[in-house]
Each structure stands twice: as structure tokens, then as C-alpha cells.
Chain A
Amino acid sequence: MSATTSAPKAPAPKAPAPRATQTLRPDRKKKSRIVYNAIGLLTFVVMIFPVYWLVISALRPNAEIRSYDQTLWPSSVTFDNFSRAMDYANFGTAIKSSLIICVTAVVGAMLMATVAAYAIGRFRFFGRKGFMIVLILVQLLPPTAMLIPIYLQLNDLGALNEYWGVIIIYLVSTLPFATWMIRGFVINIPKELEESAMVDGCSQMGAFWRIVFPLLAPGLAAASIYSLINAWNEYLLAYVVLQDNDKYTLNVWLANFTTSRGVDYGALMAASTLIAIPVVIFFMFIQKKMAAGLTSGAVKG
């Protein structure tokens, strides 16, 4: 029973059902199907339009953007907006900051989450349930309310305007969800596998590294991509904590396009496209796991 039921898979078993009823009332069934398809098409257009407009605005010449007559289709495609966006100050350092912060935070979070998930997935110990409840509650803390306490804490530690301050916060914010997600994979690895490895002479540690860890790889991949996306998309905390222009992450850097003289929408859309592309690609890999993972107790961070 895969609750995920991705779109491509679902129709296959369903196809015979409508056919059976079709013999009863072919007309009505067919008509309502057409109506639902039309609504589906409308939903598609409404949901995809902002994404379409993002890409199309990034690609169209600037003269068309500054026009009172926006057309649905650009007259010509140009990469001017992209090159102008990349020429904005600090583009390179922003990429560097984003990469340093996100990758370090995710690697750290995965290490800690894996061992913690293994503990709650494999052992029964006093305080286990309490720990799991804490994992959930922490995810429910309102981030906007935590902004000020965390800022003050970082100030005490001297971590303001430092990469490591942001890294620690991103790491710990993704930790509860990652732990929960990986736990789901741990409990699906039969304990017998490990036990037989230990019978064959592996230590507990050896059994973990040789047997469990390789089987966890898909779960780890999903959890790390999820954490990476979250860290990549975070904006407010980075804005508050990082103060130097050359330490800004990509999201904070985006604010450059809004000046007192107006907004350079062409460059803004181009830069936004650049930031969104890696997220969209990664997202495709894990979307199936996300839909089910989120409802099964793990909360989005």
C-alpha cells in the first residue's frame, strides 16, 4: 500500500472501474469526465502561471517588461536579464555563502539525525517517547517568534555576522524533521539483517555501518535534499544575522534588485530563476516521499 500514489501510477488500476459502470450510463459518465478534465486544465493553468511568468519575464527583452502591454509570449528570447543579474555586486560571494552555509548545515544535520534516528528506531529506552514528542513540538515552534530569542542567543555567543551562527541554526532547525524522516527508514530495515551480521561476527557498530547504513542511503538522500531545500530557501534569519554585503546568502542578495528608484524586474526574475532551478530539480527527486512523509508525523520545518 503505497499511500504516495504518484500520478503516473494511479490510473493503471483504476482504468477498468469506470469502464464497468460506463455500460450503465455511458453518457453522463463521459460528460462529467470532460467537465472534471476541464477543471483540471484550469487548475493546471492557474497553478503553473506564476512559474511560467517567472521564466518568461526572465527571458524577454527589458523593453517588453517596461511596457504597458504585456504579451503572453515574448517577441524574442534574450539572456540579457541573466547577465545583468549576474553583474550585480556580490553575486559570486552570495553563491559561495549559500553553498558553504547550506552544505555544512545539511552534512552536520544528517550525521546527527542518522544516529538519533537509529536510536529511536531500534532501541526501546526510557525517555524515547518523550524525545519523540520534543522532536515534534520543536517543529511547531513559530519561527517568527523564535527569531528574536535566537538572534539574542547568537549575539551572546558572538556569532552575529558569522557563517557558523547561521549554520548552527539551519542545522538544528532541520534536525527534528530529518531525524523523524530517517527513523521511518530505520524501522523498515528488518532487525534480523543486523542480528545475522552480528551472529557472523560483526560488532554492533560494524553491523550498523555494513548493513544498516547502505540500506538507509535512499532515506538519507531524501532527508538531505529536503534539508538542503529548506536551508537554501531560508531568508529572514540570514537577513537578520548576516550584516556584511559579501556574506549575504543568495536570498538576501535578491533584495538588491529593489532600490529606491524602483525594481529591476527583468534582472530580479532572472536571478529568481537561477535560485529556483536547483530547488525545482532536487524537489522532483523527493516529492513522492515528501507528500507521505509530512503527514506521517514529521512536520515541515
Chain B
Amino acid sequence: MSAAETKAADPAVPLQRHPDVLRPQPAGRGRAPRKAGALLPYLLIGPTIVAIAAVFVWPLIKTAVMSFQDVGRRELWTGEAAPWVGFEQFTNIFGDPAFWDSVVLTVVFMTACVVVTLGFGLAISLMMQRMSAWARLLVTAALIAAWSIPLMVAASIFRWFADSDYGVANMVLSKYLGLDFQGHNWFLDARQGFVVIGAVVVWGAIPFVAITLYAALTQVPKELEEAAAIDGVGAFGNFRYVVFPVIKPVFQMVATLSVIWDFNVLGQVWLMRGTKPEPEYEVLGLYAFNKAFESNSFSQGAAISLITVLLLSGVAVYYLRQLLKIGEVE
């Protein structure tokens, strides 16, 4: 009976499948010792474990070690043993005002992007529920088109928008709005530059948020909303007390992922500034990159990478706890 049901259900929907997964378990367990296959699952996940350990875990450990050494270009290429310097790299970094500037810049930029993305994403998903079918189809199509554009290409498009001579942004602002934007350079002032960069980030991130939240909204029982409306709850109250509690787990997940992704905005800045960003554009990732590859102090780059991982591990743990709470890891 469950065969037809499980096959029909979407594989990605978590809530319904746990009973199905757990039910065959006793039978499977009873039979397990008979087969000599107790080792089989370990053999099957073995390659993946080795690969992850080699590409992520081992480099991370080495990074941690390196950040207490002084690895420059010479040590890197000759394999000479690097001298141990204790916490010197960290005190250097924490003593560098440029580091704090880039931390503040990264956090502020991330917060702004996340808030704008979530705000627009939620608004779009709520409105998608209420519009006619043809309008919803158009919006979905546009969201998917925007979602599928590669980052590199998106950055090129927005750079072309903001081009000082021939960009469409300046043209619209000066021609149709009567502002003096002819030949205006958007990247001269870093604050304006980050508006353009933020636009790429938000434009690229909205589709995921809107489509995911829309899927969550369709799970809200209509009867609940109707009952609340009969009881005299207004539109806002309905959202606050009926709709949002239902979509909250998904919303939290989307928010956490957005924080992590937007904290890592490096490619966009890099590409928008023609691969040579000015100091005012130095977000944390770029700061580490420049320390490692421009100043050839790989230990400092490693130390900053380590700091970034630690900074974001709190968010990652929060995300993991959400997943465990809704029973996703079963």
C-alpha cells in the first residue's frame, strides 16, 4: 500500500516519509546478521568519506596549523619548513585596521542583502498566491530565468547596466528622470558601488527565496485562514498568527542559507571591479585573498580563512539544529 503512495510523493518532501523509512527497519535488522554484509554500508560510503576528508577536512586542519606558522612564497615553493610564530599572525590581523574595516563592511553588506532579499522574496511569494494564473506563470518564468543565469554572466550584465558612458542606468536616470547622471561613475564612491553589487546579489538570490517560500505557503491549510477571517482577524493578523507559524521552519532555513551565501560575496565584487578591486571594496574574502596571493603571506590568508570559518560556524550549527529539529536527518 505504501508503494504507490511513496512513489507518488515528491522525494524531497520530508514530513511524510519517515513512517515509511522506519517501518521496514525491524525486518531489515533481523535479517542483517545472516548476510556477511555488515561492512557493506561502510564500503559504500568509504569513497565519499575519503574524498571529503582529502578535499575539505585535511586542508582545514593544515590551514589551522599554518596560521600559527609563517609561510611565505619561499616555503610554499621549496617545501622548506616554515618557522613557528605562535599567535603572531592573529595579532597582526587583529591589529590591522583594514581587517576590521572589511569585517564591518562584510557584515553590513551581508545584512542589507539578506534583509532586502528576504523582504522581496516573501512579498513576491505572498503575492504569487493571490494573483491570476497567467500572472503567476509569468512571475515564475522570470524567477527561473534569473535563477539560472550564471553568477559571472549576471555580474557582467549589471556592470554593463552601470557603465558610466553607455550604461542603461545612467541613461534612464538622466533622460527620463531629469537627474544629472550623464557619465556618472557608479564605482567611484564605494557606497554607490555596493548598491550595484548588492543589486546583483539580491537579483540572483530572490528566485530561490521566493520559489521556496511559495512552495511552503501552499502548505498552509486554507481552512485555518478562513476560520481566522471569520473570527475577525485582519489580513496582517492572519499572516502574523496563522500563515507565518506554518512557514516559519522553511523561512528560518532560507534565512540561514542566505546569511551564509551573502557572507561569501567575493566573486561578485571581484568581477564587477574588473578583477582589481580598490581597497574600499575589500570584503573579508577579498582581504584574505589579497593577503595570500598579493602579499604572498599565505599564513595570514590561512588565519583569516580560519577566522571566517569560525565566524560562520555559529550560523551553520544553528542551521543544523533546525534540520535536526524538523527530523530531516533520519
Contacts and interface: CB of A to CB of B under 8 A. Distances in A.
A142 B75 CA distance: 26
A254 to B, nearest CB: 6
Given A4-B10, A150-B55, A292-B215, A70 B166 contact: yes
Contact of B52 (A129, A134, A265): A134
B13 A2 contact: yes
B17 to A, nearest CB: 6
B40 to A, nearest CB: 7
A144 interface: yes
B97 interface: no
B285 A54 contact: no
**Chain A: number of interface residues, binned into ranges:** 35 or more
B24 interface: yes
Contacts of A40: 127-128, 131-132, 135-136, 138-139
Nearest to B25: A124
A217 to B, nearest CB: 13
Interface stretch (B41-49, B111-119, B236-244): B41-49
- Interface SS of chain B: helix, strand, loop or mixed? helix
Interface stretch (B88-96, B146-154, B185-193): B146-154
B136 A10 contact: yes
A179 interface: yes
Main secondary structure of the interface of A (DSSP, over half): helix
Interface centre among B2, B45, B264, B285 (most CB of A within 10 A): B45
A275 B152 contact: yes
B328 A276 contact: no
B16 to A, nearest CB: 7
B151 A235 contact: yes
B295 interface: no
Given A124-B25, A131-B45, A299-B257, A50 B52 contact: no
Given A17-B222, A233-B150, A297-B14, A125 B41 contact: yes
Nearest to A147: B289
A41 B135 contact: yes
Given A36-B135, A291-B215, A50 B158 contact: yes
A120 B21 CA distance: 11
Most buried by B among A11, A32, A142: A142
A267 to B, nearest CB: 11
Interface in A117-172: 118-120, 122-125, 127-129, 131-134, 136-138, 140-153, 155, 168-169, 171-172
A107 interface: no
B193 to A, nearest CB: 16
Contacts of A118: 44
A23 interface: no
Given A48-B145, A235-B151, A140 B47 contact: no
Nearest to A279: B148
Interface string B225-247: 00000000000000000000000
Contacts of A204: 35, 37, 40
Given A68-B166, A153-B55, A190-B2, A272 B156 contact: yes
B108 to A, nearest CB: 17
A77 interface: no
B305 A148 contact: yes
B212 A69 contact: no
Given A48-B142, A136-B329, A187-B21, A143 B63 contact: no
A44 B149 contact: no
B136 A112 contact: no
Given A258-B274, A280-B145, A292-B215, 8 more contacts: A1-B9, A124-B25, A192-B3, A204-B37, A236-B266, A291-B211, A292-B13, A296-B13
12 contacts: A5-B218, A40-B127, A144-B285, A146-B305, A147-B305, A172-B52, A179-B48, A184-B12, A251-B152, A269-B156, A294-B208, A294-B212
Interface of B: 2-3, 6-7, 9-14, 16-17, 20-21, 24-25, 28-29, 35, 37-38, 40-42, 44-45, 47-49, 51-52, 54-56, 58-60, 62-63, 66, 76, 124, 127-128, 130-133, 135-154, 156-161, 163, 165-166, 168, 171, 175, 182, 203, 206-208, 211-212, 214-216, 218-219, 222, 250, 253-254, 257, 260-261, 263-264, 266-267, 270-271, 274-275, 284-285, 288-289, 292-293, 298, 301-302, 304-306, 308-309, 312, 315-316, 319-320, 323, 328-329
